[in-house]
Amino acid sequence: ANTVEMQTLFQSGWFIEGLLSQTLIVHMIRTRRIPFVQSRAAWPLFAMTLVVMAVGIALPFSPLASYLQLQALPLSYFPWLVAI
């Protein structure tokens, strides 16, 4: 995504990465222990985390994407996202 024509692809990737990072940070700042291993959040927080992440990932693939100036990401993006 290194051309002006592909900037929505970059913005979509940035949106998803930022949303997932910020959502997971909530779990890190809520406890001094290791999140998900030594300390688990209450089920409402965990459930909303999953909902927010799922909606965020789905947005670029939805009909709302054009209104938000997002673009569907190639599936090859997601292994890189997990690696980050």
Give per-residue pLDDT as tens, 34-82. Answer: 887 788 888 998 899 999 999 999 999 999 999 999 999 999 999 998 8
What total number of domains does the chain contain? 1
Q: Which of 3, 1, 13 is nearest to 73 (CA)?
A: 13
**Which residues, including other chains, have CB under 8 Å from residue 62's CB and lie 6 or more apart?**
none
Q: Which of 73, 57, 65, 58 is nearest to 19 (CA)?
A: 57
What is the per-residue pLDDT for 39?
83
Domain that residue 17 falls in: 4-83
pTM over 0.85: no
37 vs 57: CA distance, rounded Å: 24
72, 63 Cβ separation under 8 angstroms? no
